[in-house]
Amino acid sequence: MKKIFSALFVSLVLFSCNNDKKQETALLNEVIKTHDKLMADDEHIMKNKMLLKSYTDAKDSVAAYNKLLDSADNAMMDWMHKFSPDFTGKSHEQIMSYLTTQKAQIIKLDSLINSAVASSNTFLTKPKAK
């Protein structure tokens, strides 16, 4: 009977470890997927900043939109510099906690970047004053 319980315990531990790795990998992939989307959105930030340079009128509005775009871009760069997917020596709970926090942060970044790009797009699609 002890052998059966021992085998069952070992099986549960192995299954649990495998399941933990799958959870960690899935959550990390979600964070990376959002990051990759934001990198594409970063191109829109740069494009809009270049377009704003062509505006000679409405300098206050141009400055405000540039500041908004810069803030979103800087927030993304700051997050990227701080993100560390090296989980050596970390427990499953520590890894999941870290990745959950990172996911929440990058979702906020996504909203910030989307808002900055959308509002600057709205400004840029208005006809220029002559």
**Is 5 inside any structural domain?**
no
pLDDT of residue 4: 54
Give the 3-state secondary structure of residue 126: coil
Per the domain annotation, does 14 fall within a domain? no
* Count of structural domains within the chain: 1
Q: Is residue 10 part of a domain?
A: no
CB contact at 8 A, 112 and 42:
no
Tokens read off for 73: 């871009």
pLDDT score of 8: 43
In a domain, 78, yes or no: yes
Predicted local confidence at residue 14, as pLDDT: 47
pLDDT of residue 85: 87
Q: Which residues contact 79 (CB under 8 A, 6 or more apart)?
A: 105, 106, 109
Low-confidence ranges of the chain (pLDDT < 50): 5, 7-14
Provide the residue range defining the domain that includes 50.
19-125
pLDDT at 20: 85
C-alpha to C-alpha distance for 15 and 20, rounded to whole angstroms: 9
pLDDT tens string 114-127 = 999 999 999 999 86
Q: Is the pTM of this model over 0.75?
A: yes
Q: Is 12 helix (H, G, I), strand (E, B) or coil?
A: helix
C-alpha to C-alpha distance for 105 and 121, rounded to whole angstroms: 24
